[in-house]
A = this chain, B = another copy of it.
Amino acid sequence: MINDCNHFTLKIDYNLKGVEQLKKATFYHAGCPVCVDAEKMMLDHLDTSKVDLEIVHFGEESARISEAENAGVESVPALVLDGQVYHINYGASMEEVKSG
């Protein structure tokens, strides 16, 4: 008797996304309504298989304001992705952020 098992071939396509180099993304915001809306967009719709997203709220991490300014952030909310700054709508200037 021929074993029918020999007729089966199992192909496995490995999902290689996990081993790709993730791009570092930092979303800076100050908790304002414009910021919160943009944060939701980033969290819900960025491809997390490509992007390692960190959220920084200046109200909780004011020590990172200078880091953001050095990266080129001029207003919040802003996304720094792979070194490139994307200002998304307009919540507040960095001067407003610094004055609290």
Give chain A's interface residues, CB within 8 Å of chain B. Answer: 1, 3-5, 8, 23, 25, 37-38, 41, 44-48, 50-51, 81, 84-90
Cross-chain contact of A46 among B1, B8, B46, B86 (Cβ < 8 A): B46
* Chain B: CB-nearest residue to A53: B45
Query: Is A38 a contact partner of B89 (Cβ separation < 8 A)?
Result: no
Q: How far is the CA of A50 from the CA of B51 in the complex (A)?
A: 15
A51: B residues at CB distance < 8 A: 45
* Chain B: CB-nearest residue to A34: B86
Query: Is A45 a contact partner of B81 (Cβ separation < 8 A)?
Result: yes
* Chain B: CB-nearest residue to A7: B5
Cross-chain contact of A89 among B25, B41, B87 (Cβ < 8 A): B87
